[in-house]
């Protein structure tokens, strides 16, 4: 939150802002259709990003590139939201006292929404980095697959052209070694992919959850600010009562700041409600276990039927 809880020029800069002043913002966007963020070259790079590199890693590489585009969109939203917060305060500065004060405080809340989005981007990048670790592992496994396939192709070629060649036995031994090496690499890929996939999406969904709940908190305090507005109509020539909500509006902003600081994942309000519970013991139960459970249920039903008294 802003230290003086205001978006206007009298806001006291923080110590970090004094030591490291932010760079000036760009005032113009490049209109070059061939170069720049929205240019043809950028579009082509994004479309062909997954077509290079080891074949095994191409699909995930395409996803990582797309997620980078999502991050850039978030960054654009953050900047636009900050500008909107400042402009809202500028607009209300010359208005009546109540509109001036409340528009300024609403600008503070909207600016805080932008700050939350900025923090979300950092956590989103952590998710992307986890995907990159899977991609890099896939790329490292590709050479062992290619080597094994190359040896197998050589053996097939020799058996067709020179069935009596002594090289076949040598190549078969190389193929056994290559298959052993590939088996180890594939096992590592399988294990680490599951671990990283789970961790990466945990990062992502925790970030979404924090962003959503903190947005909901700010929205609630924003509506509390709006209750300070006098919306009763006045007739021409009538004066509105003098606005005296400065202390209340400031307290609302302070309460919002405290609520955001106190929020944790453990205190999240929204919790999922699942219609069925599936744990590892349910998902990976063998067919035999399900058959045994079904036989036990049938046996219980038969016993119950036998115990029923005859009419």
Per-residue pLDDT of 129-186, as tens digits, reads 999 999 888 888 777 777 777 878 877 887 788 877 778 777 778 778 877 777 888 8
So what's the pLDDT on residue 280? 61
Query: Residue 290, class by beta-carbon neighbours within 10 Å (0-12 exposed, 13-18 middle, 19+ buried)?
Result: exposed
pLDDT band at 292, cuts 50/70/90?
Answer: low
pLDDT band at 249, cuts 50/70/90?
Answer: very high
So what's the pLDDT on residue 20? 61
Q: Which residues make Cβ contacts (< 8 Å) with residue 151, sequence separation at least 6?
A: 171, 174, 175, 178
So what's the pLDDT on residue 107? 94
Is residue 43 pLDDT above 60, yes or no? no
Q: Which domains does the chain have, with CATH numbers?
A: 40-230+244-262 (1.20.1270.60)
Report which of residues 198 and 41 the model is more confident about.
198
Span of 70-74, 165-169, 202-206, 285-289 with lowest mean pLDDT: 285-289
CA distance 279 to 67: 30
Average pLDDT score over the chain: 78
So what's the pLDDT on residue 46? 53
In terms of DSSP H, where are the helices of 227-286? 246-262, 280-283
**Beta strands, E only, the chain:** none
So what's the pLDDT on residue 41? 57
Report which of residues 60 and 27 the model is more confident about.
60
Q: What is the CA radius of gyration of the chain?
A: 32
């Amino acid at each position: 939150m802003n230290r003086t809880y205001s978006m206007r020029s009298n806001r006291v800069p923080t110590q970090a802002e004094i030591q490291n002043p932010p760079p000036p913002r760009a005032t113009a966007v490049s209109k070059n259709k061939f170069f720049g963020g929205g240019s043809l070259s950028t579009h082509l790079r994004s479309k062909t990003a997954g077509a290079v590199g080891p074949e095994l890693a191409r699909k995930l590489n395409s996803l990582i590139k797309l997620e980078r585009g999502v991050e850039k969109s978030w960054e654009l939203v953050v900047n636009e939201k900050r500008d909107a917060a400042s402009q809202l305060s500028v607009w209300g500065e010359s208005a009546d006292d109540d509109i001036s004060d409340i528009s300024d405080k609403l600008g503070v809340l909207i600016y805080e929404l932008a700050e939350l989005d900025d923090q979300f981007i950092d956590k989103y990048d952590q998710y992307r980095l986890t995907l990159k670790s899977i991609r890099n592992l896939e790329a490292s496994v590709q050479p062992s697959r290619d080597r094994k396939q190359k040896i197998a192709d050589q053996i097939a070629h020799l058996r067709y052209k020179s069935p009596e060649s002594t090289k076949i036995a040598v190549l078969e031994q190389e193929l056994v070694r290559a298959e052993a090496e590939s088996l180890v690499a594939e096992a590592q890929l399988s294990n680490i992919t599951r671990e990283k996939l789970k961790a990466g999406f945990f990062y992502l969904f925790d970030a979404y959850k924090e962003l959503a709940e903190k947005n909901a908190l700010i929205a609630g305090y924003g509506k509390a600010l709006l209750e300070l507005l006098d919306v009763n109509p006045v007739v021409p020539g009538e004066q509105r009562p003098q606005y005296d909500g400065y202390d209340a509006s400031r307290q609302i902003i302070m309460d919002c700041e405290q609520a955001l600081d106190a929020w944790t994942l453990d205190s999240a309000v929204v919790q999922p409600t699942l219609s069925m519970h599936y744990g590892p013991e349910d998902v990976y139960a063998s067919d035999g276990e399900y058959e045994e459970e079904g036989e036990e249920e049938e046996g219980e039903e038969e016993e119950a039927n036998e115990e029923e008294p005859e009419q």
